[in-house]
Structure 1
Amino acid sequence: MHQLSEPPILYFGTPVVLITTSNTDGTYNIAPISSIFWLGWRAIIGISAFSKTTENIRRTGECALNLPSVYQAAAVNRLALTTGTFPVPIGKAQKGYTYEAKKFDLAQLTPIQSETVSAPRVAECPVQMEAVMENLHGIAEDEEKQRGRLVTIELRIQRVYLDELILMEGNSNRVDPNKWRPLIMSFQQFYGLGEQVHVSTLSSISEDLYRSPDVERAKNFTKLVKPT
């Protein structure tokens, strides 16, 4: 029997993403989020309007999305209660966040240069994507207490890098779901994926039929980030 409920949050399970951005002083910010979904080569993220990540994406129009596997859970956890914003926003201070300028060092992760954006990729993450911002929208603008506090950002992917260990044999453009073990956040706890529970009817459709025009657009993008 179902019971009427009022859970404070609705995080039923989404992949963790480490978003990297460039700061004004040439250093880098890295932040974990789990409010994200995908359509083709577009990603929609939900994030605080006051975060350093949001500030940097607004200014530069770009970022890198890095998906950790279950093996990077400890590194993600080291970032959990940190912010690159100083002073720490009141809402985050109330939750126990502290300011941290050198997040890569704290997380023990390695930044590597991207090809089309200034933000670095995270070497340890099996999935790395370079992205540019296409749109930004406020969330809950109808509610006075939330107005101006949350935003969604539409990101268009420019490059995708996949660890060969998670690829289907003989196909560099297909991820093998039996090899890929994304880190999942469910109600503030870390989980991984288990074994396949049932064959999906949708798997009979070729992934190529979902190929987005953004793929060709990304291939034709010639801007290169030069080392400084």
Structure 2
Amino acid sequence: MHRVAPLKVLYFGTPVVLISSRNEDGSANLAPMSSAWWLGQTCLLGLAETSQTAANLHREGECVLNLPSSALVDAVDSIALLTGRPEVPAHKVARGYTFSRTKFAAAGLTEQRSDLVSPPRARECPIQLECTLSAAHRVEDGLTAFQVSVARTHVAEELLIPGKDYVDPLEWDPLLMKFCEYFGEAENLQPSRLAAGWRMPHSLPAA
């Protein structure tokens, strides 16, 4: 039996992304979000237009998508209610947001110089994607899907299958958000026929 349920959010299970961008004064902004999806070397980022990250993307056209592991949940949560926008929007004030221009420090993360874009990477994040803005699509009132192209990908050595440019899914434990709650340390449930069909270069324990 199913029931009609007008859900407030549709976060069924998506990876958390820490987006780093440049503020107008040159300082670095760092913002957690979980409305992102990838296709090829393109990523769509769903952001509210009232966010500092949206303003920075429109102005600078660059960002870094830092993917935290589940071990970094405390760092992500520590900046969940911080905004880089000096004039905090009323709806964020009501939810407990406060202004900060030092969100890397607040998260206990380290700025790491990028190769191709101005915003820094978060050194502690195992996967970092340097990106440039390709387009901005207004989705609905106040919400925009920012289309970015991945210019360079950095992956921690311990996540890569030796001798291959391929992330071992058994080693990579992304921080996931399901309906605004954090999840990680996922167990592999069973071998994937799709992975076998695509001849992915990893082997899973026998079921």
State the TM-score, normalized to the length of structure 2: 0.93
User: Which segment drifts farther, 194-203 or 122-131?
Assistant: 194-203
Aligned to 1:186: 178
Structure 1 segments (4+ residues) deviating >6 Å: none
After superposition, residues 34-183 of structure 1 pair within 5 angstroms as 34-140=34-140, 147=141, 149-171=142-164, 173-183=165-175
Task: Give 1:206 shift.
Answer: 4.9
Task: Give 1:50 shift.
Answer: 1.2
User: Secondary structure at 2:93's aligned position in 1?
Assistant: helix
Q: Distance in 1 between matches of 2:41 and 2:78?
A: 29
Task: Give 1:87 shift.
Answer: 0.9
Q: Distance in 2 between matches of 1:48 and 1:184?
A: 20
Aligned to 2:191: 199
Aligned length: 200
Task: Give 1:202 shift.
Answer: 1.8
Aligned to 1:214: none
- What amino acid is the match of 1:159? R
Task: Give 1:169 shift.
Answer: 2.5
Query: Identity across aligned pairs (percent)?
Result: 41
Q: Deviations over 1:148-204 (max 9, x none)?
A: x11000010000000011111221x10000000000011111001422112222212
Q: Distance in 2 between matches of 1:35 and 1:104?
A: 21
Q: Distance in 2 between matches of 1:20 and 1:7?
A: 29
User: Secondary structure at 1:9's aligned position in 2?
Assistant: coil
User: Which segment drifts farther, 78-87 or 189-198?
Assistant: 189-198
- What CA RMSD, in Å, does the superposition of the two structures yield over aligned residues? 1.3
Structure 2 spans left out of the alignment, 5+ residues: 202-207
User: Secondary structure at 2:20's aligned position in 1?
Assistant: strand
